[in-house]
Amino acid sequence: MLVVALGCACAWPALARADDLVQVYREAQQNDPVLASARATWTATQERVPQARAGLLPTVNGTGSANVNAQRTEVQTTPTVAGSEVFLNYGATISASQPLFRLQNVAVFKEAGQQVVQADYVLASAQQDLILRVAQAYFDVLLAQFTVELSESQKAAVSEQLAQAKRNFEVGVSTITDTNEAQARYDTIQAQEIAARNDLDNKMTALRVIIGHAPGELKRLGPGFEPALPEPNDPEYWAGRALNENYAVRIARANLAIATLEVERARAAHYPTVDAVASVGLNGATGGVSSGGVASNADVRGRNAILGLQVAVPIYQGGAVESRVREAIAQEDRSRQDLETNRRNALFLAQTGFSGVTSAAASIKAFEQALVSAQSAYESNRLGLEVGVRTTLDVLNVQQTVFQTRRDLAQAYFNYLVGLLRLKAAVGALTDADLEDVNRRLAG
């Protein structure tokens, strides 16, 4: 069993109050800026529909004005004639317009619907991506911790071999070569331990970037797990789903639909527009005239109402409409090629994801057996060293194989778990429930 192998590799104590994979994921959901940006983009995109719908609904405007006009006139005669006028002009109008035939506005409304659908896919893809990033970062930290602990264990074992070689040399039962070889191996392991600790710091930082703070203790791998093959165990099934359900494919498909509607919108500029228009107005003027000592007042009021159709026919716009149509057609073709690219990428992800899971499952079983064999070889070489048929270098080499196999086994285990998630993501089916299932593999 893998758990037995890991337990042999390094004694991992039970961690009280350690964060598990789902807890770390929940923190990432709250703090990850990439997902927060995707959510904000999704919220903003929802407004495209009401904005586009406004182009199909009536518009109503109101205007008003009031002006005071004052005028004084003098005529230089004998006697001088003078007069003045003061008038207040005012008016108010309410106008309304209802589009009856505007193909461009219809195309814009359809585009908005496709943009909202595309935004749903983009957000879902970002949520899948967060699951993968959290899982990868989480298991990277666990593997880095495991590597450090293996280095510590290996250093302790080699230190014991070094001490034994020195004692044997002092009593004359071995050569200085054994001591030098053990010392060289010990120094190498010390350097490897430093590199392993640096790698652990980097992996912890990568997880911190996602969750927004330094991670605490993380739950380790638990017992009772047998790697299973994908269900169904058919690469063509996963490839077929990926071609249609992969989120990158869905996003590209929506983008092609938007580009097609953009062609429709550009061509619609050739067609006339028809609007129903109506307006109601009130205007008037009040004031007085004074001339030669005689004053008179006036109060004028008027009302008007208009109801009709307004037709605009585009005749020639310098070739701009034709140019926009050609541009939109080219953009549509680009979107079609982008869709094909994403379909091929999805096929690649599904096939490599499937083979990755099956390969990791096979690797786990192979490394389990290899570890058993390496451990047996190590014990045999230790016994051979005691009876003089093996050298210290032989023991150190086999010991190195044992520790390397333990790390390879842990790496295969993590590759299997992350591979399952990546395979689900390749077909657009990765959800929180899948992460929770992986989380159950961790020690409680």
pLDDT in tens, 265-292: 999 999 999 999 999 999 988 876 666 5
312, 272 in Cβ contact below 8 A?
Answer: yes
218, 142 in Cβ contact below 8 A?
Answer: yes
- Residue type for position 137: A
Q: Which two tokens stand for residue 57?
A: 């609904």
Let me know if 161 is exposed, middle or buried by CB neighbors in 10 A (0-12, 13-18, 19+).
Answer: buried
Report the percentage of the chain scoring pLDDT > 90: 64
Please report, in angstroms and rounded to a whole number, the separation of the first and last CA atoms in the chain: 19
Q: Residue 84: what pLDDT?
A: 65
| 30-34, 69-73, 129-133, 316-320: range with lowest mean pLDDT | 69-73
Give the mean pLDDT of the chain: 88
Q: How confident is the model at residue 245 (pLDDT cuts 50, 70, 90)?
A: very high
Residue carrying the six token digits 């961790």: 442
In the three-class reduction of DSSP (H, G, I as helix; E, B as strand; rest coil), residue 259 is classed as: helix
Distance of CA 195 to the CA centre of its chain: 31
**In DSSP terms, which residues pair with 71 in a beta bridge?**
85
Q: Residue 15: what pLDDT?
A: 42
Report the percentage of the chain scoring pLDDT > 70: 89
Q: Which two tokens stand for residue 189?
A: 């392991």
Mean pLDDT of all residues in 379-387: 82
Q: Residue 256: what pLDDT?
A: 97
Backbone angles phi, psi at 311, to 5 degrees: -115, 130
| 52-61, 238-247, 374-383: range with lowest mean pLDDT | 374-383
- pLDDT score of 9 more than 60: no
Residue carrying the six token digits 């703090």: 31
Q: Residue 1: what pLDDT?
A: 37
Mean pLDDT of all residues in 149-163: 84
In the three-class reduction of DSSP (H, G, I as helix; E, B as strand; rest coil), residue 72 is classed as: strand
Distance of CA 38 to CAs 20, 33, 34, 249, 318, Å?
A: 25, 9, 6, 18, 41
Q: How confident is the model at residue 420 (pLDDT cuts 50, 70, 90)?
A: very high
Element containing residue 221 per DSSP (H, E): none
Domains within the chain, CATH numbers bracketed: 2-58+102-273+319-439 (1.20.1600.10)
| 160-164, 226-230, 335-339, 380-384: range with lowest mean pLDDT | 160-164
Q: Residue 224: what pLDDT?
A: 63
Question: Which residues make Cβ contacts (< 8 Å) with residue 110, sequence separation at least 6?
Answer: 261, 264
| pTM of the predicted protein model | 0.85
